Structure 1
Amino acid sequence: MPRSAFFVTGTDTGVGKTAIATGLLHAAGSAGLSTAALKPVAAGCEPTPDGLRNEDALALQAVINRPLAYEQINPVALEPAIAPHIAALEARRPLSADRLAGYCRGVLGQADFTLVEGAGGWRVPLNPAETLADLARTLGLPVILVIGVRLGCINHALLTAEAIARDGLPLAGWVANIIDPDMPRLGENIDALGQRLRAPCLGCVPFLENPAPGALAEYLSLEPLKLS
Structure 2
Amino acid sequence: MAKGIFIVGTDTDIGKTVVTAGLMHVLRSRGYNAVYFKAALSGVLKIDNEFIPGDTKLVSDVSKLEEPYENITPYVYRTGVSPHLAARLENNPMNLDIIREKYAYLRKKYDFIIAEGSGGIVCPLIDDGRGVYIIGNLIKDLNMSVIIVASAGLGTINHTVLTAKYIENLGIKIKGIIINKYEESLFYDDNIKMIEKITKLPIIAKLKNIKDMNDNEIEAIRIHSEKAFSAENIIEHMEQL
After TM superposition, the score normalised by the length of structure 2 is: 0.84
How far residue 184 of structure 1 moved from its aligned partner, in angstroms, is 6.6
Inter-partner Cα distance in structure 2 for 1:97 and 1:150:
36
Q: In percent, how many aligned pairs have the same letter?
A: 25
Q: Partner residue of 1:147? A: 150
Contact 2:8 2:147 in 1 (8 A): yes
Q: What secondary structure sits across from 2:13 in the alignment?
A: coil
* 1:152 aligned partner, one-letter code: G
Q: Partner residue of 1:158? A: 161
- What residue ranges of structure 1 are gaps of 5+ in the alignment? none
Greater helix content: 2
Aligned CA-pair RMSD: 2.3
Q: Partner residue of 2:181? A: 178
* 1:198 aligned partner, one-letter code: K
Number of residues of Structure 1 aligned to a counterpart in Structure 2: 226
Q: Partner residue of 2:83? A: 84
Q: What secondary structure sits across from 2:157 in the alignment?
A: helix
Q: Partner residue of 1:187? A: 189
Q: What secondary structure sits across from 1:199 in the alignment?
A: coil
Contact 2:83 2:126 in 1 (8 A): no
- What residue ranges of structure 2 are gaps of 5+ in the alignment? none
Q: Partner residue of 1:10? A: 9
How far residue 51 of structure 1 moved from its aligned partner, in angstroms, is 5.0
Q: Partner residue of 1:136? A: 139
Aligned pair 1:34/2:36, yes or no? no
Q: Partner residue of 2:238? A: 225
Contact 1:141 1:169 in 2 (8 A): yes
Q: Say which structure, 1 or 2, has more relative contact order (CA 8 Å, 6+ apart).
A: 1
Q: Partner residue of 1:215? A: 224
How far residue 137 of structure 1 moved from its aligned partner, in angstroms, is 0.7
Aligned pair 1:205/2:188, yes or no? no
How far residue 91 of structure 1 moved from its aligned partner, in angstroms, is 0.8
Q: What secondary structure sits across from 2:196 in the alignment?
A: helix
* 2:125 aligned partner, one-letter code: L
Aligned pair 1:20/2:19, yes or no? yes
Contact 1:33 1:113 in 2 (8 A): yes
Contact 2:82 2:125 in 1 (8 A): no
How far residue 64 of structure 1 moved from its aligned partner, in angstroms, is 3.9
Contact 2:21 2:60 in 1 (8 A): no
Contact 1:149 1:178 in 2 (8 A): yes
Inter-partner Cα distance in structure 2 for 1:109 and 1:17:
25
Inter-partner Cα distance in structure 1 for 2:118 and 2:91:
19
Contact 1:97 1:134 in 2 (8 A): no
Inter-partner Cα distance in structure 2 for 1:188 and 1:80:
38
Deviations 1:70-93 (A, max 9, x none): 111211110011111111101111
* 2:154 aligned partner, one-letter code: L
- Between stretches 192-201 and 86-95, larger displacement belongs to 192-201
* 1:190 aligned partner, one-letter code: I
Inter-partner Cα distance in structure 1 for 2:64 and 2:34:
5
Change beyond 3 A, Cα 1:107–1:51: farther
* 1:111 aligned partner, one-letter code: Y
Inter-partner Cα distance in structure 2 for 1:217 and 1:17:
16
Inter-partner Cα distance in structure 2 for 1:66 and 1:91:
29
Contact 2:28 2:34 in 1 (8 A): yes
Contact 1:34 1:66 in 2 (8 A): no
Q: What secondary structure sits across from 1:143 in the alignment?
A: strand
Contact 2:10 2:149 in 1 (8 A): yes
Inter-partner Cα distance in structure 1 for 2:171 and 2:156:
23
Inter-partner Cα distance in structure 2 for 1:115 and 1:226:
13
